[in-house]
């Protein structure tokens, strides 16, 4: 009986050792080579260098529009952010209202000039977001033009809502621009 237990124990150990043996270095290297050869080829942009090389393949209309869009975004965000201190509290003087109106009218004018450009198809989503931002700017401008002295705090709060919506939509424009920059390879 004791011999039978030893025989069963030896067979069990031999089976487990044989099944759990570690791969040799040559087996590991062979498996890695097979995996690399069987993997699909990558056809996208592999690195920033490749992306910068791909940038040269962009049609000139896309490149020009992208440069103009970048300039437009930098210019308008600076102007929009300059308005924040005026809207921090619920009081606004008539002089401050006029300054706000002047800046927002300038942003609207620059936006309309930018919209007049012929846009490539790649920028259709960017254009749609820009139209949304202009809607908020129009409403903000209308509220400012309708304000009369004494300016009620609710009017200032209402103007702030449209201002904040314009800022949020501008952030969406920036994200869309960054997305297009990554996709198309312009910077």
Map out the domains of the chain as residue ranges. 2-38, 48-184
| C-alpha count within 13 angstroms, C-beta hemisphere, residue 8 | 5
What pLDDT is recorded for position 99?
Answer: 96
Torsion of CA 65, 67, 68, 69, to 10 degrees: 80
Instruction: Give the distance from CA 23 to its chain's centroid.
Output: 46
One digit per residue, pLDDT tens: the chain, 187 residues?
A: 667 676 676 676 666 665 555 566 777 777 777 666 665 454 455 556 655 555 456 788 899 999 999 999 999 999 999 999 999 988 999 999 999 999 999 999 999 999 999 999 999 999 999 999 999 999 999 999 999 989 999 999 999 999 999 999 999 999 999 999 999 888 6
Instruction: Tell me how far apart the alpha carbons of residues 102 and 107 are, in angstroms, rounded to a whole number.
Output: 9
Is 56 buried (19+), middle (13-18) or exposed (0-12) by CB count in 10 A?
exposed
CATH number among 3.30.750, 1.20.120, 1.20.58, 1.10.3470, domain 48-184: 1.20.120
Instruction: Tell me how far apart the alpha carbons of residues 147 and 144 are, in angstroms, rounded to a whole number.
Output: 5
| 67 closest CA partner among 166, 182, 183, 177 | 177
């Amino acid at each position: 009986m004791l011999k039978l237990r030893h025989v069963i124990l030896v067979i069990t150990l031999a089976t487990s050792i044989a099944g759990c043996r570690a791969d040799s270095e040559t087996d590991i290297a062979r498996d890695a080579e097979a995996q690399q050869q069987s993997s699909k080829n990558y056809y996208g942009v592999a690195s920033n260098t490749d992306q910068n090389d791909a940038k040269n393949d962009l049609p000139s209309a896309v490149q020009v529009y992208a440069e103009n869009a970048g300039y437009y975004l930098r210019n308008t965000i600076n102007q929009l952010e300059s308005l924040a201190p005026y809207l921090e509290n619920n009081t606004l003087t008539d002089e401050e209202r006029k300054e706000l109106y002047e800046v927002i009218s300038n942003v609207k004018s620059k936006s309309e000039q930018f919209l007049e450009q012929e846009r490539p198809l790649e920028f259709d989503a960017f254009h749609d977001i820009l139209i949304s931002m202009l809607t908020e700017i129009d409403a903000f401008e209308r509220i400012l033009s309708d304000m009369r002295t004494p300016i009620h705090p609710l009017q200032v709060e209402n103007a702030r809502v449209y201002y904040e919506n314009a800022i949020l939509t501008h952030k969406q424009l920036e994200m869309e621009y960054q997305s297009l920059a990554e996709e198309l390879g312009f910077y």
